[in-house]
Amino acid sequence: MSILPYVTPAPTPKTKDVSRIATFYAGIILVMVVAQLFTFESFVLLFRDFGFPFGPQYPAFLSAFLVICEVFALPFLLRMPLSPAFRWVSIVCGWLVAALWFKITVWVVFSETLFNNVGFIGTVVDTMPGWWAIFMSLAFGILAAWSTWGMWPGKRSAQRKK
């Protein structure tokens, strides 16, 4: 038994479309995280303007946690060789990206103040809030679900093994 983690190759996708979907989702996340990190100081201020509950530290924590989840979601989506534990962490991070963006967009759309930016692409480009933003975050959830289903790292049943 080794203390050091061992690297395993990514599981084979169930279909050809799964790897395309996962790469597409990774591309979206990559564009978002690069733009958010490029303007991170104003990204934190944007989250502070949203008026989230739980005190003044919550927007800073949420913005940093969101960026970290976006970065850690990429290895699974890009089918990199990973340790089994980190593959599961990466899957969870992909799901957290979709869930956090859904929470943020619902909060921004249903809050009583008007905002001119949701923050998908940081503060580089203003993305107007609205129902489309909620549907976009739901689309992130669909892409995460499809990618997870198609590249599930757990044991498969005996009839599916090749």
Say if residue 39's pLDDT is above 60.
Answer: yes
pLDDT of residue 40: 93
Backbone angles phi, psi at 4, to 5 degrees: -75, 145
Domain that holds residue 85: 16-148
Note whether residue 162 is domain-resident: no
Note whether residue 21 is domain-resident: yes
Angle between helices 58-77 and 40-49 (to 10 degrees): 120
C-alpha 16 chain-centroid distance: 22
Instruction: Give the model confidence (pLDDT) of 102-158 as tens digits.
Output: 999 999 999 878 888 899 998 888 888 889 999 999 999 999 999 999 998 877 655
How far CA 32 is from CA of 49, 60, 88, 125, in Å, comes to 19, 17, 22, 11
pLDDT of residue 2: 66
Domain count, the chain: 1
Share of the chain above pLDDT 70, in %: 93
Q: Which two tokens stand for residue 46?
A: 């944007």
Note whether residue 155 is domain-resident: no
12 vs 27: CA distance, rounded Å: 20
